[in-house]
Amino acid sequence: MPTNAELFARASRSIPGGVNSPVRAFRSVGGTPRFVARAQGPYFWDAEDKRYIDYIGSWGPAILGHAHPEVVRAVQEAAVHGLSYGAPTEAEIEIAEMLIARMPSIEQVRLVSSGTEATMTAIRLARGATGRNKIIKFEGCYHGHADSLLVKAGSGLLTFGNPTSAGVPPEFVAHTIVLDYNDIAGVKTAFAQHGKDIACIIVEPIAGNMNMIKPIAGFLETLRSECTAHGALLIFDEVMTGFRVGPQGVQGLTGIKPDITTLAKVIGGGMPIGAFGASAKIMSNIAPLGGVYQAGTLSGNPVAVAAGITTLKLLAKPGFYEDLSKRTRTLCDGLVERARAHKIPFSADCVGGMFGVYFSDKVPTTLAEVSASNIEMFKVFFHGMLDEGVYFAPSAYEAGFVSSTHDDSVIAATITAADKVFAKLNA
């Protein structure tokens, strides 16, 4: 049985950095990435057969836990009938109708294969629909890796201290205005200066790619009112928050309706999928109806759609989100209580099944506050937890995710493990 270290050495010869997505590489926390052999419910097992309680859940999709039997069955049944057709299916209508029924602002939806495709196309759609070029994004928000969005971005770019990607010509981002998250005055100033030229704002309505940061009171409201006043479109990137923070995303929690919504992660139940949706009027700009082009060989893939439909059905069970929120809250409260008992500056916060842990006395509301937290202590905590068999995101700039299979005993085991690690941190 090869060890994680042996697999990492081998992977590093054939795959850049040994991984197919940067944050998996543990570069900012040091040490050896765990190579996953299998997963079930709240757990995965690495190449050395060590079990971990998983708080990444594939970075969001695994809201029902890993390998949920009904989702696996749906995938198996769909696969038997063919893996991809490149022609429409009834199941695509079914998932579209489910998304429309649940997301307050969506009248029509188009499926793609990733969150990146969804946000990239949403921007193109906003530009096409308004005939304007400029876009506003917020520092520390990550919207996938399309060129115009890789400016002062979150997730791996922030983790590795290189928030603007190389390989993007300055001209490609000349129309991207970057503002601070939760800076209401900054948004008003940008619209006062550039209002006529702004096609859209794209925002994570609860940010999850610079650790978790909630919008302050008035922030999302201001985005809505400024967009409306100036004829710009508001894009909620709910790739992470959609069906994660509640049954209708942040738009359901806040009552604020974006013009365009992007989705991915949970809606595919672990299979590659993404989606963008809006009013029928805005969506009429998309090919074949309108001049904004978007297409995909694997869009609406029947196996991914089967996983998505089954996942969405299971999420509709009464009490699902109440339970999930309660467990996540218990986790956060338990961690804070144990940390404080050991006099560690620590805070935690959550919405639905998404949470943030911060080595700072109070929950941050800005990227600067996240950056000012004790990131070195986070790294020691991360490795301590890993040794105890608990897998948090390997970065102080990522959110965490709880699934419906993280039951009371799993949460209690996590808090017990954290207690041991906090004790060592304070030693």
CA separation for the pair 341, 422 (Å, rounded): 9
139 binds ligand PMP (CB under 6 A): no
Indicate which single residue of 114, 121, 211, 403 sits in contact with ligand PMP (rule: CB under 6 A): 114
**Beta strand 400-401 with 354-358: parallel, antiparallel or unpaired?**
antiparallel
CA distance 412 to 329: 12
- Specify the residue for token string 């115009």: 148
| Residue of 265, 321, 358, 397 marked active site | 265
Q: Taking CB under 6 A as the criterion, which residues in 359-388 touch ligand PMP?
A: none
240 binds ligand PMP (CB under 6 A): yes
CB of 39 to ligand PMP, least distance (A): 19
Question: Is residue 100 classed as helix, strand or coil in its secondary structure?
Answer: helix
Q: Is 57 in the site for ligand PMP (CB under 6 A)?
A: no
- Residue 354 in contact with ligand PMP, rule: CB under 6 A: no
**Alpha helices for 43-174 (secondary structure H):** 69-80, 90-102, 115-130, 156-159
Question: Considering only residues 46, 92, 226, 237, which one is a binding residue for ligand PMP as defined by CB under 6 A?
Answer: 237
How far is CA 222 from each of CA 229, 234, 256, rounded to the nearest angstrom? 10, 11, 10
Minimum distance from residue 53 beta carbon to ligand PMP (Å): 21
Give bridge partners of residue 262 from the DSSP assignment.
237, 276
Task: Give the shortest CB-64-to-ligand PMP separation in angstroms.
Answer: 18
For position 299 contacting ligand PMP by CB under 6 A, the verdict is: no
Non-local CB neighbours of 28 within 8 Å, separated by 6+ positions: 159, 160, 379, 394, 395
Find the residue with minimal CB distance to ligand PMP: 115
- 202 forms beta bridges with 235
Catalytic residue among 43, 52, 55, 142: 142
Asked if residues 373 and 213 have their Cβ atoms less than 8 Å apart, the reply is no
Binding mask of the shown chain, residues 198 to 217, with x at each position contacting ligand PMP by CB under 6 A? ------x---xx--------
Interacting residue with ligand PMP among 64, 78, 234, 239 (CB under 6 A):
239
How many residues touch ligand PMP under the rule CB under 6 A: the total is: 17
261 binds ligand PMP (CB under 6 A): no
Task: Tell me whether residue 52 is one of the annotated catalytic residues.
Answer: no
Instruction: Single out the catalytic residue among 54, 237, 259, 349.
Output: 237
Which of 172, 175, 168 is closest to 190 using CA atoms? 175
Determine how many CB atoms are found less than 10 A away from the CB of residue 163: 21
List b or e across 198-223, with b for residues whose CB sees 16 or more CB atoms inside 10 angstroms.
Answer: bbbbbbbbbbbbbbbbbbeeebbebb
Q: Rounded to the nearest whole angstrom, what is the least distance from the CB of residue 119 to ligand PMP in the complex? A: 5
Q: Which stretch binds ligand PMP (CB under 6 A): 86-94, 235-243, 357-365, 403-411?
A: 235-243
Q: Which of 35, 59, 138, 276 binds ligand PMP (CB under 6 A)?
A: 59
Stretch that binds ligand PMP, among 43-51, 234-242, 319-327, 384-392 (CB under 6 A): 234-242
The minimum distance between CB 274 and ligand PMP, in angstroms, equals 6
Between CA 332 and CA 400 the distance in angstroms is 11
Query: Binding residues for ligand PMP, per CB under 6 A?
Result: 59, 114-116, 119, 142-144, 155, 204, 208-209, 237, 239-240, 264, 274
Give me the active site residues, please.
142, 237, 265
